[in-house]
Chain A
Amino acid sequence: MDGTQAIILTIITASTPLLLAAIGELVVERSGVLNLGVEGMMVMGAVCGFATAYTTGSPTLGIFAGIMAGIGMAFIFAFMTQTLVSNQVATGLALTLLGLGLSGLIGESFVGLPGVKLVPVSIPLLSDIPFIGRILFGQDILVYASIALVIATTYVLFKTRVGLIIRAVGDNHHSAHSLGYNVIMVRYACILFGGACAGLSGAYLSLAYTPQWIENMTAGRGWIALALVVFATWLPKRLAIGAYLFGTVWIMGLYVQAQGLGIPSQFLSSLPYLVTIIALVIISGNKTLTRVNTPACIGQSFVPDR
């Protein structure tokens, strides 16, 4: 395999889980909810995805189980914060802790077992095109799903009535409520969507990225996804740029190290964070636009008057 091609393929694999988890959280935050439990939902997606794929031998069922696990975790969060009106920050953190602990418990008997790898699709002829063939037409289905999700989310959020409602709920839940929208239900739906994406992202880790289950295998990717959403100023397009930029700098850091140029590895490890933040701050330099895009009600609980 050609070196450059290998690097591009690696960048795509490294960026995809971030993008998947972040796009879900973006929708959640657009509806005015801050769910800090991404890491917990993701790790549950990873373990359930792995366990199901291993038991049944089907990665497809694994993906499905990962999504369901994410939704299940998100439902706990939604019930706590929307129905019982608990504090979103505290509940989100608790969800992460719950996910990390519970996934360890569920996954105990799956440690050390080789997983079922999600085989990349291979479109005949097209994937045989030199260089770009593998990159564009030889990825696994979840890579395409992540791109499709970005496009679909952009479309739904900004071009449809549903998107308008979601944004209205996130910007001013009282007004949305007065207009007759069910704020709680909209938020429930968005939270569950976020959970599905996080679960999918986790399943990507345990089925495609490194097909195995190891406790804590998300290793903080949920937090990176959360940060990306904020720095992308809640715009899906920028989120995709941010995720891929992060992945690129991350992989290039490893690449440069292997060249033996003597650049401190600690510096290279911190570079993706630095570059992504700077780049996203620069492209979102317009303060007015940033303010417009920020969901005004983020993190605030809504209790309808009765």
Chain B
Amino acid sequence: MKKWLGFAAAVAMSFAITSASAADKLKVGFIYVGPIGDHGWSYQHEQGRLAIDAALGDQVETSYIEKVDEGPDAERAIERLARQGANLIFTTSFGFMEPTLKVAKRFPDVKFEHATGYKRADNVSTYSSRFYEGRYIIGQIAARMSKSGVAGYIGSFPIPEVVRGINSFMLGAQSVNPDFKLKIVWVNSWFDPGKEADAAKVLIGQGADIITQHTDSTAPLQIAGENGVYGFGQASDMIAFAPNSQLTAIVDDWSSYYVNRTKAALDGTWESTDTWGGINDKMVGMAPFTNMPDDVKAEAGKTTAKIISGRFHPFQGPIFKQDGTEAAKEGEIISDGELLGMNWYVKGIDDQLPQ
């Protein structure tokens, strides 16, 4: 039922996309998994689209379809954009991977960009952000700010992207407090403010005095604020929701990537690439460090600077897996390939990873 409704909504929304007027302009299309009003994931992609409009508005025309379900419906939505003459299409969720490739095959002259995926083609690029860099920093802050030594982590789905974030957070926390504890709750949804709020309340009730989330709404941070514990923003700066509780936020910033790729498509230098950018590439940003003492702030700033300069990598050995086996030797860095398929917890997490 919900799927069907989602599809109907997608169809209804697709009528609302802006239509083309000038034929000579480059047309750039976006597919969003959520509503642009989620103030999280899709919202940030929308900010990227607006950045294209602002920078190249005289040469390009952008449009989007929001609330597109991952799965077969996505193929129809992507194809619709392609048929309407889009020259460059960004599909902004992991689940759009197969649909993007399928449509790309049928439209060899259209350029596609798929976020967070790993399958490419001559006309399909992939791009993602190294959010885990930010997670290491907030892990470190969390361990400094926590009195109970326990943080609550609200996860969406146990996919490598999220598991990597949990590990990175934990490694950051352990760098400050080796006995730091993490309680993890999976809500099996990217977006359910009520359930995310419930999870936050339960975690706080169990002694967590730091709340962090890998879901898309502002609810967990807001609950943290109401209960006087600390939290972090996710995807965008959410300080307005918890002015006295947000320590910082990991901010997705797609603007420069989107503008650059659109420029490349305009001047004909576009080719299929794989981009995985971090803080250094300005694809991951940190919101101002707030509500913390100056020494913690300074330390967080230092870690950020070390990551930017490349002198430090969050997954730099020695790293041990939960079962005690060594994942990376002293000085060794876990490879991008291993990071992209990460399906194990680091030592110190007393939870079992759902398989």
Contacts and interface: CB of A to CB of B under 8 A. Distances in A.
Contacts of B193: 205, 209-210, 212, 214, 217, 219
Interface stretch (A68-76, A93-101, A177-185): A93-101
A97 B194 contact: no
A258 interface: yes
A254 interface: yes
A97 B352 contact: no
Given A264-B354, A265-B186, A216 B194 contact: no
Contacts of B204: 6
Say which size band chain B's interface belongs to. Answer: 35 or more
A108 B351 CA distance: 39
A223 B1 CA distance: 10
Nearest to B183: A258
| Interface range on chain A (Cβ under 8 Å from partner) | 35 or more
B351 A262 contact: yes
Contacts of B5: 93, 96-97, 100
A114 interface: yes
Contacts of B93: none
A13 B187 CA distance: 17
Given A1-B205, A223-B2, A254 B183 contact: no
Contacts of B37: 104, 107-108, 111, 213-215
B184 A7 contact: no
B241 A251 contact: no
Contact of A254 (B185, B207, B208, B226): B185
A205 B193 CA distance: 9
A26 interface: no
A117 B189 CA distance: 25
B202 interface: yes
B218 A212 contact: yes
B192 A219 contact: yes
Interface in A175-212: 205, 209-212
Given A254-B202, A258-B208, 17 more contacts: A6-B205, A9-B201, A10-B198, A10-B201, A101-B12, A117-B226, A209-B197, A210-B217, A214-B37, A214-B191, A215-B34, A219-B192, A251-B202, A254-B187, A255-B202, A257-B185, A269-B187
